[in-house]
Amino acid sequence: MERFGQHVVGLWGRWWFVPLIPTVHAGLMAALGTLRPEHILVAAGIAGLGFASRPTRLLVAAVFPALLVGLAYDLMRFVTPFFVRPGRVWGCEMRAIELSLFSVGPNTTLPDFFHLHNAPVFDLLFAIPYAGFIYIAALYALYLFVRDRERGYVYLWAFAICHFIGFAIYMAVPAAPPWYIRAYGCVIDPTAAPSAAALLRVDQFLGIHYFEGFYSRNPNVFGAMPSLHCAFPALGLFSAWHAAGWRTRPIHLGYLAAMVLASVYLDHHWLIDGIVGIAVAGIAVMIATRLRRPFRAVAAA
């Protein structure tokens, strides 16, 4: 046992507890009666990799920011009912703000316009960034881990910071998405089921239930602002701005533009949600860049 303790301290130093955080989370879920198999798998996997060797310890340190996001997201369902209450949710107020800033006609927002003017080809086109955003972020993080590890630390910690800021805004200013106003009007119903909105047309067209199943697990219907969908490509753009040339910057810019337009076209977000999401991403990258040295020191300790 003493030998194992020396091994752990040799790997992690004073940060020896990091691989045990998912285990603590699993214990909390067990105490609350909501333990699931994936909690056990993640706890065992992270502890095993974290204490196995230096290469696996480096991998755990690299993915730790994303792991924190996952654990925080899992805890959101317990916190949300305390903050997201009918009297605090911005419903038609969001639509009024959108009309005042980005009206495209009399009493017509961009989501209203696309609700009336859409086609299967555009449904499929804009479903692509929505279907792939998680995988694109993971692949990009893996690419940075191999090619530019320091920028990878900035990207991953910015990813985490962006989510934590977003979660805080969700609680401080819960906001209804366009599809909710279209379905329920200005009445705020905390029991309303989440919806894939216009992505249901894609499910129906393809004869699948992917988007319906994915969005049915959303713990907070009233988390429209900021749009973290739009924040994801913005994180890549801002963290790569100085390193990328004009051969790769258009890819980042195009991905960001596609995601913003998709978020509005698919009835998931107001345009203001996307703008706030981009701003949050910029703040997160700025904070992570300033803290990159301690992050790198923890990862390489």
DSSP letter (8 states) at residue 91: S
Q: Please write the tens of the pLDDT for every residue from 212-229.
A: 999 988 888 999 999 999
Helix (H, G, I), strand (E, B) or coil at 264: helix
Distance CA 262, CA 275 (A): 13
Answer whether 42's CB lies under 8 Å from 71's CB: no
pLDDT at res. 295: 56
- Domain spans, the chain: 1-83, 85-300
pLDDT at res. 158: 96
Tokens of 166: 């977003």
Helix (H, G, I), strand (E, B) or coil at 235: helix
pLDDT-derived band at 1 (thresholds 50, 70, 90) equals: low
pLDDT-derived band at 91 (thresholds 50, 70, 90) equals: very high
Exposure string for 134-149, b = 16+ CB within 10 A, e = fewer? eebbeebbeebbeeee
Read off φ and ψ for residue 90, nearest 5 degrees: -85, 110
Q: What is the chain's length?
A: 301
The pTM of the full predicted model, rounded to 2 decimals, is: 0.91
Tell me what the pLDDT averaged over the chain comes to. Answer: 91
Q: Please write the tens of the pLDDT for every residue from 225-239.
A: 999 999 999 999 999
DSSP letter (8 states) at residue 18: G
Answer whether 252's CB lies under 8 Å from 236's CB: yes
